[in-house]
Amino acid sequence: MGQESLQNYLQYLVRYLKRRARGFNGYILGLSGGLDSAVVALLAQKAVKDDLLCVIIDIESEKCDMDDALELCKLHNLNYYYIDLTAEYRAVVKKLEESKKLTELSKINTKVRLRMVTLYALGQTHSKLVLGTDNKAELFTGYFTKHGDGAADLFVLSSLTKGEVFAAARLLGVTPNIINKIPSAGLYVGQTDEAEMGIKYEDLDAFISGKEVSPSAKARAIELHRISNHKRRPIPRPREKR
């Protein structure tokens, strides 16, 4: 997507967000200090102005991520809450591990789901819709937590590849610290998206855009999509009783 086309699409997203907010007091968004949530925040602010509430949720988070989220809020005058739920998260894990030790992945996903519980509790209290930040690449590969960041009232970036999100960030004025950092969910020290997925965003973007990629990249993209199908499907239900 060229810059002019991207600008036009971003303007459409602002209009879309403005229209979808009717009947609600705007939006609520978890601001992580990462690229996707920063882009969604600035689009939503253009749509509903002060009716956007950003929530910076610290759960054993990297200080630099929290600082980057705060910097974005202050630079763009975003309304925000900062909440440290590290102690509450550890208490939940401790309680659950009284019966059996949790796997590391289940603990990581518990962090994400605790953040979503927080956003929906505050969102309902303030009559705000919860914004999802997953982009097209993440939704295709299932690189999101089921009932965590995969739960939202609407996904804003669902048609944008990761490369297009980077381009949008530059157009919208996202801070350099956020744009220049290596994409990461920030759930543990040293974690990066590409290492965890086993494919570069450049190759993934190319594949889902219908371009040629290496056989290994194509195979990995297809495999990620296959094993994550359960995340995109509606919750199964038995047939109606007769």
Residues 55 and 83 sit within 8 Å (Cβ to Cβ) = yes
Across the chain, which has 242 residues, the per-10-residue mean pLDDT values are: 84 98 98 97 98 97 96 98 98 96 96 98 98 96 95 97 97 96 76 89 96 97 97 93 90
pLDDT of residue 1: 64
Cα dihedral: 192, 198, 202, 204 (round 10): -120
pLDDT reported for residue 184: 78
**174, 39 in Cβ contact below 8 A?**
yes
CATH level 2 (architecture), domain 3-193: 3-Layer(aba) Sandwich (3.40)
pLDDT of residue 190: 73
Total-model pTM? 0.94
Output the pLDDT for position 96.
96
Structure tokens at 217: 């990249």
- The secondary element (H helix, E strand) that includes residue 80 is strand 80-84
Domain ranges of the chain: 3-193
Q: What is the pLDDT of residue 4?
A: 72
Q: For residue range 154-191, what is the model confidence (pLDDT) as tens digits?
A: 999 999 999 999 999 999 999 999 999 988 777 677 77
Distance in angstroms (rounded) separating the CA atoms of residues 85 and 233: 31
Q: Are 136 and 36 in contact (CB under 8 A)?
A: no
- Give the strand pairing for 27-30 and 52-58: parallel
